[in-house]
Structure 1
Amino acid sequence: MAEQLNIILVPHTHWDREWYLTFQQFRARLVHTIDKLLDILDRDSNFTYFMLDGQTIVLDDYLEVQPEQEERLKKYTRAGRINVGPWFIQPDEFLVSGESLIRNLQVGLQRATEFGEPMRIGYVPDCFGHIAQLPQILQGFGIDNAVFWRGVGAEARKSEFLWAAPDGTRVLVIHLADALGYSNARMMPLAPDEFVSRVKLLTAQILPKATTDTLLFMNGSDHLEPQDGLPEAIAAANPLLAHISPEQEKMLAEFGQVQQNGDIKHFDGINVRIGTLPQYVETVRSQNGKHEGRKEEGGKEGAQEDLQVLTGEMRSGQFSHLLPSVLSSRMWIKQQNAATEHLLEHWLEPLTAWAWKLGATYPAGLVRMAWKYLLQNHPHDSICGCSIDQVHRENAVRFAQSQQIAESVITQAMQGVAEMVDTRAPIQTTHTQHKAIPIVVFNPAPGPRTEIVQAVISYAGTLRSAVITGEQGQHVPFTTVNRWRQELGSAQLPRETIAAAVMLMGADAPGEFIRMAENTAATMLGKPEGSYEILRVHIDTQQLNVANIEVLIAPRGIATGRDHELLAAEQQILALLQREDIHMLNISAIDQARETIDFVANEVPAYGLKTFWVYPRGIKEETSTTAASALSGEQQRIENEWYRVEASAEDGTLTITDKHTGAIFTGLNRFVDGGDTGDLYNYCPPAQDVLVSEPLEPPKIELVSTGPVRAVLRVSGRWLLPSAVSADRTERSSRTTACQIVSDISLTPGVRRVDIHTSFDNKAKDHRLRAVFPVPYRVEDVAAEGTFEVRTRPVAAERPADVADWSEEPVNTFPQKRFVDISNGTTGLGVLNRGLPEYEILQDGPGVAPGQMAVALTLLRCVEWLSRGDLSTRRGHAGPMEHTPEAQCLGHQEFDYALVPHSGDWQAEGALVLREAQAFNIPVRAVVPLSDVSNEEHWGKLPVDRRHPREGFLPSRATLLEVEPSEIVVSAIKRSNTGKGLIVRLYNPFSHAVEASIRPGVDLARAFVANLQEEEQEQLFWSGDEGEPLHVGLRSGEIKTILFQ
């Protein structure tokens, strides 16, 4: 029996906030677009719905310009005629963290709720592929569907399917399978006959993949305004579509058939109506059936089993451009983003939450603002680096603003927590106790861990003979980085003026003059009299008629034992006042010497702090002995207790011997540079490429340091690179330019990691630079950290025999977060990175010998154009052909990465590679607690001062949180958005279920499982009494949020 085919047409606009124009230029168009939309809705009740691209930031961008339109706008959002949310911005998924995606939805849904009922559709229409954990993230917000275009290949038989996350959580996917995706029905012709023809054409393209009698037409595209007159065009066309002649029915049948429950559906008419994505999703659900109560092992109940189930990432370029090389465009953006995300997620939120639980005021507005500046850089055209140069200059400003806010708040929070710590020195010496200077070291990552940390110490003398100890008294290695003083103030006074004041003192002048000077200095610095003391005076009378007097001052209470020197200086000054040849006294006050020191902070607890003490000279013999250093080095070689690293005199590559396993890795850190004729979306090698993999001459190898804090080997070399590509873009230029590459390779005692800092002076254009790390074995797959998971991928993408009709060539470069690990099951090499998200596994090429494979880590990819239409790796343009010379990334570039040779795979030794990747990206920090300056003063410019050790509420070693096993990943520790509890989010990266125990280090009494919107779902049996741990189970791949109150 013939039936009617229904079409839901969704009017919308897709709003790239910045791209080939800047944000402000696009905003001017946005204001006009929404003004026009409101006018249409005012006068046409048949224009029933419009979708604002699933992101709420467009509301804020509009209302900043048109605040008087807020109530008018809310009238239609609250009535459901304008659909808003759920996102704050339309993000890229692979280049931002999982926590960023969660904050994005939290902010977007909260803002959308202020405008009515949010659109609970997982609408990500234009993302360059999709992460495997997106279904679980969406379901965490009560969103049971996803609607998108890119990334789906022939594995999807129909345009509707189920997509399962690694833990089994599923969403219904509406794949916008047409070649134009979210734009398939843009700018519909308004004349009835033409409208009908367009409907039939679109139907022919969509119907073969449909699973229902309802099709989805997306009436909009990039920056398009609402189409005025659309309801009238539909009304005029529907009668022409309602009854199809037998001949037309035959044509319609050729478009495709819909099969449901084994039955073939035939259509003899079409009806078009304006609708919404929620309406379409509900229609698909109703026609595909629900099997409530079915529970898949490790999965969810209530899935539609007559739909195909797919799993994993969506990264195919078969039917639509995936644009995979955005992973390496403008690499500085990726580095800045990773640094800012780690700052907010692992420092700002946990530290402010800890300070809040200890009684401090929570800076909610500043935390929110830091996140908003960061999120505004997460639209795909921004974070992917594929916009015009001016857009990315503005990205840099937003990163800086987010970091500035975060650093200021973190400084205050660290000082606030440190003031609660018992910093009384544990070692009793013959010297006064306040001689010990406490340093509180914070670790917001798993632990206990040992790392180098930097602190600034202010002390009247010198630290050359000092020692640093932990709570047990064992010395830890340290070294002075630099030493300096700061002028606090100066004055130029006539000699007669000071002499007259001294005359008034009469016989009391000797001894009282110094006290008068101390009170004057305190007043000059805005402090009470008596709060500062003079430590030393230096007098210089070499300038004609002038005496220059430099006075070293410090907060009172620092014993110096040099009173006789001050009395002698006082007598010198009193004598100067009697000299007729001295007309003027230039007096300057300077503070104590400040020393920046690096020291090895050992065994700092997870998500906690540990106190160390600096003892000045003279007490070394009264503390326990220093542990023997594990560092050593000589020309071309350094080692610690874990690794031996040697640099080749011929080409500068590294050989690492793993002392734990005996494995030897050679040829590491080889730089390979090739041409790139692509654009900001796709890498494209020249037809005749030239790979440069050797330096111009043997490199210079220096032993920079052999301890005591770190051993550093420096490898410097010049690389002769082609200056650009040829004019016809078929090969690299014959002209060359010499570029300097310098790598500092570092080992730290107690740290199982080889750290590498590489700088590159880029003078070449149109090229890609990679660091290559061979391993002496071959494998079929590797493990790379992804979003809330560690993903196992084949070493190369599956490539069909014929890809001529693909929109893009399949590529072997893949995304990663903080590491990729290549292991044969017995031994392995983890390659860690800071903000370098692209890797490839090489099976041959420079430096890869027979029987070997290599990890290639992309450091830089340099191109000249936003989009080009002549690439062999992609069919057609991906955007406008805009000139982007700054995308060549000329000038000084820096990169940080690290190597972890290990036994087994990445899961071995307590997930060593994962833990070291976290530690590498989240360095520990130190603070010297303050004495005379309150926390309310000088946010972000807190004076560095030595305080007297004192009794505190917190022990000298404390934790905010203890989590076992330590390889369970804690992705968030934060105050809940309601301000009523502490959120702890963790996930299980393993392929098996794990039971975790959580022991908070602050007073809490109840615990709940919460969703990602931080709403209570289930109360857990836990009271928090006497340090009782909370036990929670996690399925393989599961993300779990715990709300403590």
Structure 2
Amino acid sequence: MNKKKTVHIISHTHWDREWYLPYEQHHYLLIEVMDQLLDTLEADPNFKSFHLDGQTIILDDYLQVRPERRDQIKKLIEAGRIEVGPWYILQDEFLTSSEANVRNLQYGMRDAKKWGGLSKIGYFPDSFGNIGQAPQILQQADIKAAAFGRGVKPTGFNNAVIDASAYESPYSEMKWQSPDGTEVTGILFANWYCNGNEIPTDEQKAKAYWDEHLENLETFASTTHLLMLNGCDHQPIQTDLSTAIDLANRLYPDYTFVHSTFNDYIAAITEESASQDLKVVEGELRSQHTDGWGTLVNTASSRVYLKQMNQKVQTLLEKVAEPLATFRYFIDQTYDHDMFAYAWKTLMQNHPHDSICGCSVDEVHDEMVTRFNKSEHFTEMLIDRTLDQLVKHIDTSTFNASDVHPFVVFNTLADNRTDQVSVTLDLKRAYYRDGVNKDVLRQIDVDGFVIVDENKTMYPVEVDDHGLVFDYDLPEDKFRQPYMARRVTVTFNAESLPALGYQVFALVKGDVDVATLVTKENQMENDYLAVEIMQNGSLSITDKRTNQHYQGLNIYEDTGDIGNEYMYKQSSDHLVRTTEEETATIELIENSAVKATYKITHEWLLPESAQETLIKEQQELVWFTNRKSERSLKEQPLKIETYVTLTHSATYVDVKTTIANNIKDHRLRALFKSNIETDHHYAESVFEAAKRQNTPNREWTNPDYSQHQQSYVDVCNQDRGLCIANKGLNEYEILASDTTMAVTLLRSVGELGDWGYFPTPQAQCLGEQTVEYRIIPHGGERERFEAYQLAQTFQAPLISKALPVQTGTYPSTYSFIELEKPAALSYSNVKVAEASNDVMVRLVNLDEEAHACAIEQRNNRTYYQSDVIERKHQPLKNDKVTMDAYEIVTIGIHSDKENK
């Protein structure tokens, strides 16, 4: 006898905080929906529960307007009638950093527990693909299942049921496995997350509705439990749902219809599917087995300026502010969790998929810029205040000369760092309280300086004189203190700065004789690399360590784009322009012992836009894949200025490019031809150097095979490799014929896309755009991890601060945490846990082999293994942890106040 099937009807609304309407207009609608929900729950005891879209921020948004309903909401959550969490917001996973994904989970779970309930499902209803390490992250938080709408092969538009045989799994339930082998139950929303929307209460309509829906549900269900989601984007509450469910139970006695929750549904399918042979789907869910048109991957290049701002603020928080605050915590046990929560939450309000993906109306992204600025400015104050307290304890008494200007350089990463340092110093200040003599300040000599460390080692220095500068102090114990200063910025190359620590230097009078880096016209060289600027503006680089040579680097490519903010679609003329046959103007603008920089200028004649027919096609809702528009015959020059820099000790070349964009409807990329024979490459994803094939699967028909990256993409084989690091450039493509890495610098489009016509003139990104990237040659597969470290240092700035000559309890060179680890163990973050006030150090093994990490023992410290939500597990044996292949490990440090 067949077991009776249960239809789990889960009420929800998928709430994009901002998208085709600005935030406050969506906010207004949210108030109406939440009012309706609370009134329905109070009036109808049979309306069992409501899933609040997996994000706790909805409650914060609602209570801004209805604070008087807080207690009512808390009671409903505690009773299980509103399910909240586990996220703070529904992020785009690929465009937010590893730590941002973890913070999103940490703050969401913390807030949900304060409300008195937690929906224990990794909820990704509309993420534009899903990261491969999600199962490991979720399992570490005791979340055993994930639900998603995209990423594995749907059978039709919005996952409509068409042909089950073409589906990656025979069921909508599957096992989703991370690279380390961790599994969760994966649930694909067959027929999307609105497959139970607007259930009829009229008997005739209900029969027709259920006959169709039950057949579709049973096509993919692996168990007798069928999932229906009653809601959709910004969907009002179905207030008569109880009546609709009662009617369904009367009409279909062979089924049981229940108003369910995700927690109940997961418990039911987990018990029953244990006996099923569910297919294992491995790693990233990027719709690799689709035609490639619906992956929405080109949101990685929409409004690149947003991605750049996000990269900057994320990095300041996770790689600078939190580590510096942790250093201070070791000294005085002070760490302000509330300040960090505010900075992170302000930033994460820009992380929903329609926000960070750049696929909303212009007003949305205007507000995002404001939020980025708010979070950045707040984080800068966190850093400044932390530094003020930190530097008081550092000893600089070894620099006891009369004309000496000490300063400290903090390395907030977990590996010793050789890098260029720039620090701003005041050679003399005159406070207005004491009187200001500007002539005395003007007469200060700014020539003849060197940098020295505590061992009197001298470093050549560049000095940039700012002249007289007005500034002020904001003391914690008195009124602001304005002053005039004679200010300089000094730049030098520091060697092996201590990991998770600092080193003190000083600017002093002196001289050191070191050769400059320019060797011939348009050529520069150090001990590791030789760089030549070709007449077309491309770079030719020889890696002197391996004797490998790379030509045709940094050629620019431009094509027409008649797509939208979601997807790139090349113009129908298929016209591809490159600078390979162009002639560039090349100018040496800096040549010293510290660095050499060439400026390369292109005045490149390009079509000014698409043809006018594109606007007509957009207005008439011609689907972007069917558009016929070509590029305009009218052309105008696009000016590109490229600054190529080689520093004294660098094993890489840094590139900064400014584009005076006056062209519409186009995509601009930088091409890096590697000619490395390999069928795969690596790209940084969340807690992963994802290994991806260079050519798409056979199902992929989209001519473009762009993919996501975080800070780097790398092509290598056993003998050699070329890695391109970036700051906020999240899209690349591998051109398989010569393994060229094509990194998108700019994409200009004029409409949102999707279900209607929403013009977005600001998405053309007109005006000056500046991008930065780093070219890193390396020795191949086993040496690639060192290249990835250099990509990480490219992201995180060194932090410096001027000091007086003083005695202190901490020496002039010091590491607060010392890790002994191979390069394959990639550092993610160090911070202080809110619940325990223990220090947390997070690492990930990027390799397919296990590696050990040892942590140096210190007095008054004990070490244990933790997890992504920072709980205490087993102690570390011998202060050492072995990390399995692709494993994410968090080390907890319990520490009392240090006595130096």
Quick check: TM above 0.5? yes
- What secondary structure, in the 3-state scheme, does the structure 2 residue paired with 1:136 have? helix
Partner of 1:439: 407
Report how far residue 951 of structure 1 moved: 2.2
Q: Which amino acid aligns with 2:243?
A: E
Matches within 5 A, 1:367-382: 367-382=340-355
- What secondary structure, in the 3-state scheme, does the structure 1 residue paired with 2:861 have? coil
Report how far residue 192 of structure 1 moved: 2.2
Cα contact 1:145–1:173 (8 A) shared by 2 = yes
Q: Distance between the aligned counterparts of 2:844 and 2:714, measured in 1?
A: 19
Cα contact 1:630–1:641 (8 A) shared by 2 = no
Percent identity, please: 35
Partner of 1:925: 799
Report how far residue 75 of structure 1 moved: 1.8
Is 1:897–2:865 an aligned residue pair? no
Q: Distance between the aligned counterparts of 1:677 and 1:133, measured in 2?
A: 34
Q: Which amino acid aligns with 1:685?
A: Q
Give CA deviations for 1:236-295 in whole Å, capped at 9, x if unaligned. 2322111xxxxxxxxxxxxxxxxxxxxxxxxxx222111111111111111122xxxxxx
Partner of 1:882: 758
Q: Distance between the aligned counterparts of 2:480 and 2:272, measured in 1?
A: 76
Partner of 1:539: none
Judging changes above 3 Å, is the alpha-carbon distance between structure 1 residues 922 and 733 closer, same or farther for their aligned structure 2 residues?
A: same
Partner of 2:597: 712
Is 1:273–2:258 an aligned residue pair? yes
Q: Distance between the aligned counterparts of 2:860 and 2:174, measured in 1?
A: 43
Q: Which amino acid aligns with 1:440?
A: V
Give CA deviations for 1:877-918 in whole Å, capped at 9, x if unaligned. x3432110000000000010011112122x317x22111101
Cα contact 1:695–1:717 (8 A) shared by 2 = no
Instruction: Find 1:396's aligned residue among 331, 346, 369.
Output: 369
Q: Distance between the aligned counterparts of 1:627 and 1:602, measured in 2?
A: 17
Partner of 2:421: 453
Q: Which amino acid aligns with 2:553?
A: L
Partner of 2:269: 284
- What secondary structure, in the 3-state scheme, does the structure 2 residue paired with 1:374 have? helix
Partner of 2:544: 659
Q: Distance between the aligned counterparts of 2:139 and 2:333, measured in 1?
A: 34
Report how far residue 1020 of structure 1 moved: 2.8
Partner of 2:243: 232
Q: Which amino acid aligns with 1:348?
A: A
Report how far residue 3 of structure 1 moved: 3.7
Instruction: Find 1:722's aligned residue among 593, 607, 620.
Output: 607
Is 1:75–2:75 an aligned residue pair? yes
Partner of 1:468: 451
Cα contact 2:193–2:232 (8 A) shared by 1 = yes
Cα contact 2:99–2:829 (8 A) shared by 1 = yes
Matches within 5 A, 1:473-872: 473-486=456-469, 591-616=484-509, 626=512, 628-629=514-515, 631-649=517-535, 651-694=536-579, 698-729=583-614, 730-800=629-699, 809=702, 811-844=704-737, 852-867=738-753
Q: Distance between the aligned counterparts of 2:866 and 2:880, measured in 1?
A: 15
How many residue pairs align between the two structures?
844
Matches within 5 A, 1:1001-1016: 1004-1016=860-872
Give CA deviations for 1:295-321 in whole Å, capped at 9, x if unaligned. xxxxxxxxx773221211111173993
Instruction: Find 2:882's aligned residue among 1018, 1033, 1038.
Output: 1033
- What secondary structure, in the 3-state scheme, does the structure 1 residue paired with 2:217 have? helix
Q: Distance between the aligned counterparts of 2:106 and 2:774, measured in 1?
A: 34
Q: Which amino acid aligns with 1:924?
A: L
Ranges in structure 2 where 5+ consecutive residues have no aligned partner: 154-166, 429-443, 473-477, 615-628, 895-900
Give CA deviations for 1:497-551 in whole Å, capped at 9, x if unaligned. xxxxxxxxxxxxxxxxxxxxxxxxxxx9988xxxxxxxxxxxxxxxxxxxxxxxx
- What secondary structure, in the 3-state scheme, does the structure 2 residue paired with 1:163 have? strand
Cα contact 1:974–1:982 (8 A) shared by 2 = yes
Report how far residue 114 of structure 1 moved: 1.7
Judging changes above 3 Å, is the alpha-carbon distance between structure 1 residues 894 and 273 closer, same or farther for their aligned structure 2 residues?
A: same
Is 1:908–2:783 an aligned residue pair? yes
Report how far residue 416 of structure 1 moved: 2.1
Partner of 2:302: 329
- What secondary structure, in the 3-state scheme, does the structure 1 residue paired with 2:4 have? strand
Q: Distance between the aligned counterparts of 1:113 and 1:923, measured in 2?
A: 36
Q: Distance between the aligned counterparts of 1:144 and 1:810, measured in 2?
A: 37
Cα contact 1:862–1:888 (8 A) shared by 2 = yes
Cα contact 2:676–2:721 (8 A) shared by 1 = no
Q: Distance between the aligned counterparts of 2:323 and 2:860, measured in 1?
A: 16
Give CA deviations for 1:787-814 in whole Å, capped at 9, x if unaligned. 101111111211238x6xxxxx474111
Report how far residue 441 of structure 1 moved: 0.6
Q: Distance between the aligned counterparts of 1:357 and 1:814, measured in 2?
A: 41
Instruction: Find 1:315's aligned residue among 250, 268, 286.
Output: 286
Give CA deviations for 1:567-601 in whole Å, capped at 9, x if unaligned. xxxxxxxxxxxxxxxxxxxxxx9744111221222
Partner of 1:355: 328
The CA RMSD over aligned residues, in Å, is 2.0
Cα contact 1:633–1:703 (8 A) shared by 2 = no
Cα contact 1:446–1:966 (8 A) shared by 2 = no
- What secondary structure, in the 3-state scheme, does the structure 2 residue paired with 1:433 have? coil
Q: Distance between the aligned counterparts of 2:32 and 2:328, measured in 1?
A: 46
- What secondary structure, in the 3-state scheme, does the structure 2 residue paired with 1:473 have? coil
Q: Which amino acid aligns with 1:952?
A: G
Q: Distance between the aligned counterparts of 1:419 and 1:463, measured in 2?
A: 27
Judging changes above 3 Å, is the alpha-carbon distance between structure 1 residues 923 and 488 closer, same or farther for their aligned structure 2 residues?
A: closer
Report how far residue 962 of structure 1 moved: 1.6
Report how far residue 828 of structure 1 moved: 1.2
Report how far residue 630 of structure 1 moved: 6.4
Q: Distance between the aligned counterparts of 2:856 and 2:525, measured in 1?
A: 37
Report how far residue 747 of structure 1 moved: 0.7
- What secondary structure, in the 3-state scheme, does the structure 1 residue paired with 2:578 have? coil
Matches within 5 A, 1:974-993: 974-978=831-835, 980-993=837-850
Is 1:407–2:392 an aligned residue pair? no
Name the stretch that deviates more: 831-840 or 357-366: 357-366
Cα contact 2:471–2:485 (8 A) shared by 1 = no
Judging changes above 3 Å, is the alpha-carbon distance between structure 1 residues 963 and 340 closer, same or farther for their aligned structure 2 residues?
A: same
Q: Distance between the aligned counterparts of 2:458 and 2:538, measured in 1?
A: 35
Judging changes above 3 Å, is the alpha-carbon distance between structure 1 residues 167 and 488 closer, same or farther for their aligned structure 2 residues?
A: closer
Partner of 1:218: 229
Judging changes above 3 Å, is the alpha-carbon distance between structure 1 residues 45 and 750 closer, same or farther for their aligned structure 2 residues?
A: same
- What secondary structure, in the 3-state scheme, does the structure 2 residue paired with 1:417 have? helix
Q: Distance between the aligned counterparts of 1:914 and 1:590, measured in 2?
A: 43
Q: Distance between the aligned counterparts of 2:248 and 2:552, measured in 1?
A: 69
Q: Which amino acid aligns with 1:485?
A: L
Q: Distance between the aligned counterparts of 1:207 and 1:748, measured in 2?
A: 63
Give CA deviations for 1:778-836 in whole Å, capped at 9, x if unaligned. 321111111101111111211238x6xxxxx4741111111111113211111111111
Cα contact 2:822–2:851 (8 A) shared by 1 = no
- What secondary structure, in the 3-state scheme, does the structure 2 residue paired with 1:913 have? helix
- What secondary structure, in the 3-state scheme, does the structure 1 residue paired with 2:837 have? coil
TM-score of the aligned structures, taking structure 2 as reference length: 0.91
CA radius of gyration, larger in: 1
TM-score of the aligned structures, taking structure 1 as reference length: 0.79
Report how far residue 412 of structure 1 moved: 2.0
Q: Distance between the aligned counterparts of 1:41 and 1:451, measured in 2?
A: 60
Judging changes above 3 Å, is the alpha-carbon distance between structure 1 residues 139 and 969 closer, same or farther for their aligned structure 2 residues?
A: same
Is 1:969–2:826 an aligned residue pair? yes
Report how far residue 761 of structure 1 moved: 0.5
Report how far residue 447 of structure 1 moved: 3.0
Give CA deviations for 1:945-998 in whole Å, capped at 9, x if unaligned. xx2x22211111111222222411121100111252111111111110111112
Instruction: Find 2:810's aligned residue among 954, 969, 987.
Output: 954
